């Protein structure tokens, strides 16, 4: 392997700002986000003082990643309750902000349900307090799930890759502390492996077009002092061919009942490459990402995003994900684009799914249903 470590930034402090926090009056009530569209250039907060502001933040990816979207959805409903607004309508608006990550609707509906039960004897500050407590519980549970997934994932990697010398893991998109109440999903496994001395290298796909890998995973890996290198998504094939990848490890936005995995576009090609090169392809996601109500991959709604995300480049913090253009145009005027935000990997290409309730391998609908039955959250 080339000397990538020489280019790896030395680990420094964790981010000073919370990824997502609830603000009480007089600052709030508000949901305060670390604005992910501005990273890594700036660590800046975005204050969402009402549900439309939070919906905008979700659509523009200021807050993103399946588990964090669930947490944001939950706090968004608590915000509507604190403002004395129509909670059911708020839950609906939040759920519809983005279609693919099932956690968003899960979080919004769960907190709305808690509010409605409490509001049976009359809406008001007490029911609003119950909604906030439920959002906080969801936040806490996600952090706990993250820790358990990291441990299960670490043990799985040791089984799948028994040789010494440490694992060379390839990841896609961003699945770390920026998407979770804890250390994340797939990234949390890589981080634990690093801390236990079993990560040799983290390969980070840049993740076109919004560069969650280049901007966010590289930021998190650098902050943690992990040995990593960035590659263009299209360079993954030659990296496999060179024998430099021991396992692929990614997160998920929705896992259907048959084990089909929706994740950031570019995940499916990695699964095909992994199969061809006999490399394990591991998905790490909490059971809240499993949607037993969606029968298979063809039933998952894949978000289609603005053409300008593909036809233009922008390096301006805050402009990414807005879809309003304003970047440097790189394609001829009038160029149409195919810009799905996610793709679907069929279960037969997935070596294992790691959840906080344990691991399934091979991936089957029955195994998945059994895992979910153990969880109090689904």
Residue 138 near residue 104 (C-beta atoms within 8 A):
no
Q: How far, in Å, CA of 180 to CA of 98, rounded?
A: 17
Q: Are strands 247-250 and 281-284 parallel, antiparallel or unpaired?
A: parallel
- Closer CB to ligand MRU, residue 110 or residue 172? 172
User: Long-range contacts of range 209-215, CB-CB < 8 Å, 24 or more positions apart?
Assistant: 209/309, 209/310, 209/339, 210/61, 210/309, 210/320, 210/321, 211/320, 212/64, 212/173, 212/174, 212/264, 213/171, 213/172, 213/173, 213/174, 215/39, 215/40, 215/174, 215/320
Please enumerate, as own/partner, the contacts of 365-374 that have beta carbons within 8 Å and a separation of 24 or more: 365/257, 365/258, 365/259, 367/259, 368/255, 368/257, 368/258, 368/259, 368/290, 368/292, 369/257, 369/292, 371/287, 371/290, 372/287, 372/290, 372/292
From 12-20, 115-123, 144-152, 245-253, span contacting ligand MRU (CB under 6 A):
245-253
The stretch among 45-53, 249-257, 311-319, 330-338 that binds ligand MRU (CB under 6 A) is 249-257
For residues 31 and 205, what is the distance between their CA atoms, to the nearest angstrom? 30
Q: Taking CB under 6 A as the rule, which mask of x and - marks residues 27-46 in contact with ligand MRU?
A: --------------------
Is residue 35 annotated as part of the catalytic site, yes or no? no
Q: Name which of 39 and 111 has its Cβ closer to ligand MRU.
A: 39
65 annotated as ligand-binding? yes
Distance of CA 219 to the CA centre of its chain: 15
Stretch 74-103 residues interacting with ligand MRU (CB under 6 A): 101
Q: Does 212 bind ligand MRU (CB under 6 A)?
A: yes
Q: How far is CA 230 from CA 148, 194, 242, in A?
A: 27, 17, 16
98 is annotated as contributing to ligand binding:
yes
Site mask, ligand MRU, residues 171-210, x = CB under 6 A? --x-x---x----xx-------------------------
In terms of CB distance, is 189 or 252 closer to ligand MRU? 252
Q: Name which of 115 and 342 has its Cβ closer to ligand MRU.
A: 342
Contact set for ligand MRU, span 146-175 (CB under 6 A): 173, 175
| 283 is a site residue for ligand MRU (CB under 6 A) | no
User: What string marks each residue from 318 to 357 as x (binds ligand MRU by CB under 6 A) or -?
Assistant: -----------------------x----------------
Q: Which residue in the set 74, 209, 213, 251 belongs to the binding site for ligand MRU (CB under 6 A)? A: 251
Q: How far is the CB of 6 from ligand MRU (least distance, A)?
A: 28
The catalytically annotated residue of 142, 233, 246, 253 is: 253
Distance, in Å, from the CA atom of 378 to the CA atom of 374, rounded to the nearest integer, reads: 9
Q: In terms of Cα–Cα distance, which of 232, 221, 173, 214 is closest to 9?
A: 221
Assess 252 for contact with ligand MRU (CB under 6 A). Answer: yes
Interface residue list for ligand MRU (CB under 6 A): 61, 64-67, 101, 173, 175, 179, 184-185, 212, 251-253, 263-264, 341
What residues are labeled active site? 253
Binding positions for substrate are 64-66, 98, 212, 263-264
């Amino acid at each position: 392997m080339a000397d990538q470590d020489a280019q790896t930034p030395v680990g420094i402090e964790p981010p000073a700002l919370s990824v997502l926090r609830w603000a009480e009056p007089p600052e709030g009530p508000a949901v305060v986000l670390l604005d992910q569209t501005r990273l890594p250039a700036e660590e800046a907060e975005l204050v969402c003082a009402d549900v439309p502001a939070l919906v905008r933040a979700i659509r523009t990816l200021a807050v993103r990643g399946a588990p964090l979207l669930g947490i944001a959805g939950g706090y968004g409903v608590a915000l509507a309750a604190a403002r004395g607004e129509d909670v059911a309508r708020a839950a609906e608006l939040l759920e519809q902000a983005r279609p693919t990550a099932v956690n968003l609707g899960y979080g919004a509906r769960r907190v709305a349900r808690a509010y409605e039960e409490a509001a049976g004897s009359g809406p008001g500050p007490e029911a609003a307090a119950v909604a906030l407590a439920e959002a906080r519980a969801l936040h806490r549970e996600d952090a706990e799930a993250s820790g358990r997934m990291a441990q299960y994932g670490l043990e799985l990697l040791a089984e799948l890759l028994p040789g010494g010398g440490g694992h060379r893991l390839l990841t896609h998109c961003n699945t770390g502390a920026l998407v979770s109440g804890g250390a994340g999903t797939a990234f949390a496994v890589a981080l634990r492996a690093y801390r236990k001395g079993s990560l040799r290298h983290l390969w980070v796909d840049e993740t076109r077009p919004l560069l969650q890998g280049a901007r966010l995973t590289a930021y998190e890996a650098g902050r943690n002092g992990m040995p990593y290198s960035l590659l263009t998504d299209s360079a993954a094939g030659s990296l496999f061919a060179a024998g430099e990848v021991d396992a692929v490890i990614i997160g998920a936005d929705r896992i259907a009942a048959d084990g089909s995995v929706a994740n950031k576009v570019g995940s499916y090609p990695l699964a095909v490459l992994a199969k061809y090169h006999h490399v394990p392809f591991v998905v790490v996601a909490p059971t809240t990402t499993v949607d037993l109500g969606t029968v298979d991959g063809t039933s998952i709604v894949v978000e289609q995003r603005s053409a300008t995300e593909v036809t233009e480049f922008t390096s301006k913090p805050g402009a990414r994900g807005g879809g309003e253009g304003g970047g440097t145009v790189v394609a001829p005027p009038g160029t149409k684009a195919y810009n799905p935000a996610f793709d679907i990997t069929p279960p037969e290409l997935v070596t294992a799914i790691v959840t906080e309730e344990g691991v399934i391998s091979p991936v089957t609908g029955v195994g998945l249903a059994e895992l979910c039955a153990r969880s109090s959250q689904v």
